[in-house]
Amino acid sequence: MSKVDDHFEYEVSLGLVPEDEEIEISLSEEQLAAIDKIVKFGFRRAGHYSDGMHFVDERDGSSSRGKGGFLRSADIRVTDLPAAASGLDVYKDHTEYRGIISHDGASAEFLIGNSSSTIPAGKIIESYSWQYAEPDCEHIFEPYVIKQKSRTHEVGFHLRSPNLNACVEISPISPIATLLAYDLGYYTADNFSEHTLKVMLGSSSDVAAKSMQVQQLAHDLLFELDAKYGLVLSLIPRERGRLPFLSRKPPKEWQSISFPSTRVPREVAAIFSFAGEAQDNPPFAFLSYYQVLEYYLPFAARRAALKRVRREIRDFAFDVSDDASVLRVLNVAERAKGVGEEEALKILVRDCVREDKLIEVLKGDGFIEHFSRKGPIKGVPAINLSSTSETVQVQVARRVYALRNRIVHAKDDPKYSETPQLLPRSSEANLLGPDILLARFLALETIIDAQD
């Protein structure tokens, strides 16, 4: 097998490129110019076979990383090389989702998938056929046609909005999206034709507004496909939020193990376990650990109230026959009933979590910056280990509670209008790792303390 460079044989062994013999193919000047432009943009030409050209994405940044953290690779048909190259002037990587968006924000193309399935969207979409009004617009729609013994049908659709200012489409992936956003997996082009969701808007001068609108229309379309037809698809986050502690490799040395000594209510065990299973949904993982804390909130608040009641009774001035003394005890009990969830959480963190261990967690790799005012999670209190106005426990409890509210409360609730809802599969959600580890630590500390 001839090689274009020293990397090609290695990439074949990894399955990044087909094992077909490279075939010498004649290229036009236009195609050669396209290859040169793609290479200058940051891609390495890694080989060619049949009618395709193989490129490895060596651009700086996480966008060039594919499955498993390896360099992302793409196969472009020789005939599509000019289209892919010209698209580099028009499109760029979408910052939040796998896909591309035009520099003016007027059009975007999103990769779509089903998070609970490893089957590519193209394989799922191929089984559907649609009836829709022929759109009267300037866009060229070229659907993929499947011919079977029982039927012949077109895959995908192109729809125009009633006010004629936008179009949405599901159709075969474009050459530029293949180059910039698509990641070769276990399936090849022979298995199916990958399809993407495309949104096209009318003219407007507001780039930011158009960028938000194309994303909104994409979500609207996927919602209706789910609600009306049971076709569950979603946009794919640019960076998957994986729980850090689940990526730990098994240690090589022996691990000491003994018969379980921790008594955990089955409800707590089930919720705690689910957090680990929700590795592809960071907000769910965080909420699961918060539910563990929630389970123990009444116990913590009650324990604090009992401590204060005992303190009143043990007071040398306490007199059971004195109404004022008895009323002080009753007031303590009444205040315990009126403790809100945030205050109860502060009590729990204060009484159940060891301060030195908490500070040790907060000083973890990159955690100080994450929990600072400049951290990636907005609308939640920062944690300052040098603060003299609030204890670390209070700061942690306030942040955890505020983050819980951002996840569970609708953003149109006036009470939470200043902190919009933290949406699943958003870029913010995918950066929750340190907050999830913090919630997990609090849950473990609370469970340990409850063993008394």
Lowest mean pLDDT among 148-157, 290-299, 355-364: 148-157
Tens digits of residue pLDDT in 21-37: 455 668 899 999 999 99
- Please report the pLDDT score of residue 414 as a whole number: 59
The Cα 291–Cα 268 span in angstroms is 8
DSSP for 152-207, please give it.
Answer: EEEE-EEEE-TTSSEEEEEEEPPHHHHHHT----S--TTT---EEEEEEE---S-H
Q: Is the pLDDT of residue 427 over 50?
A: yes
Higher-confidence residue of 213 and 329: namely: 213
Tens digits of residue pLDDT in 263-283: 888 888 888 888 877 777 889
The Cα 322–Cα 315 span in angstroms is 13
- Please report the pLDDT score of residue 13 as a whole number: 43
- Please report the pLDDT score of residue 324 as a whole number: 79
- Among 241, 38, 199, smallest CA distance to 112 is for 199
How confident is residue 193, by pLDDT bands cut at 50, 70 and 90? confident
- How far is CA 280 from each of CA 111, 240, 285, 356, rounded to the nearest angstrom? 17, 7, 9, 31
- Among 72, 19, 74, 7, smallest CA distance to 50 is for 19
- Please report the pLDDT score of residue 368 as a whole number: 93
Mean pLDDT of 351-370: 92
Tens digits of residue pLDDT in 118-135: 677 888 888 888 888 888
- Please report the pLDDT score of residue 20 as a whole number: 46
- How far is CA 180 from each of CA 141, 209, 308, rounded to the nearest angstrom? 21, 23, 63
Over the chain, what is the mean pLDDT?
Answer: 81
Q: Is the pLDDT of residue 147 over 80?
A: no
**Type of residue found at 307:** K
The Cα 62–Cα 68 span in angstroms is 12
The two structure tokens encoding residue 44: 């390495």
Q: Is the pLDDT of residue 93 over 50?
A: yes
Q: Is the pLDDT of residue 354 over 70?
A: yes
Q: Are strands 195-201 and 166-172 parallel, antiparallel or unpaired?
A: antiparallel
Tens digits of residue pLDDT in 289-329: 999 999 998 887 777 777 777 777 777 777 778 777 778 77
Tens digits of residue pLDDT in 53-66: 889 988 875 455 55
The Cα 165–Cα 200 span in angstroms is 9
The Cα 449–Cα 438 span in angstroms is 17
- Please report the pLDDT score of residue 245 as a whole number: 53
